[in-house]
Amino acid sequence: MKNNNGVKLERSYEKHIKVFGKSLKVLRVILIAVVGIVYSVMLANENGSYIPMGFAAFFVALLVFAIYLRQKSFVYFGEYCLEASEAGDIYLTMLHGHCPKCEGHLKLVKKRKGLGKFVTFILCDKNSTHIWNAFANSKEDKNKKKNESKS
Ligand SMILES: [Zn+2]
């Protein structure tokens, strides 16, 4: 296994997010949000009340977030990270890594490289020139996830 010049990200916590025992997929969240928006707007039109508009705003925020997660694959919340796998499953994880060049922390960043093509990098949060290709790591993760879903 290639160790990327000693640059390592450790996944110290991983939780597959499920709702009612079913995997919460990004596309499912988008669908729920769209249905929610349509339903809230319909309610608002019928009642003329502002309360359904609050729900509509919530579903719009949910939709924007789900699309963002689908694009980025990694969304950080302090210590935690929401990750979307290629299959669309959502994981709550904790990723730890220390930059070998400075005191910064490392995180995973996905960048678009052409249409529908993405490259994942390990990026230092203190210096954006401290960057490594995360291909060796992500390939390992994919195999791991494949094996998990088989069992
Ligand atoms: Zn650094």
Q: Which tens digit of pLDDT belongs to each residue from 15-74?
A: 999 988 999 999 999 999 999 999 999 998 888 778 888 999 999 999 999 999 998 999
Question: What is the per-residue pLDDT for 101?
Answer: 92
Residue 100 alpha carbon to ligand 1 centre in Å = 7
Map tokens 């949000």 to a residue: 33
Question: What is the per-residue pLDDT for 151?
Answer: 45
Residue 129 alpha carbon to ligand 1 centre in Å = 8
The 10 Å CB-count burial string (b at 16+, else e) for 98-128 is ebeeeebebbbbbeeeeeeeeebbbbbeeee
pLDDT band for position 1 (cuts 50, 70, 90): very low
Map tokens 């203190």 to a residue: 126
Residue 123 alpha carbon to ligand 1 centre in Å = 8
Question: What is the per-residue pLDDT for 4?
Answer: 57
CA distances from 85 to 11, 26, 54 (A): 14, 9, 31
Residue 98 alpha carbon to ligand 1 centre in Å = 8
Q: How many helices (H) and strands (E) does the chain have?
A: 3, 9
Q: What is the model's pTM?
A: 0.75
Map tokens 């052409």 to a residue: 114
User: What are the pLDDT digits (tens) for 89-119?
Assistant: 999 999 889 999 999 999 888 887 877 778 8
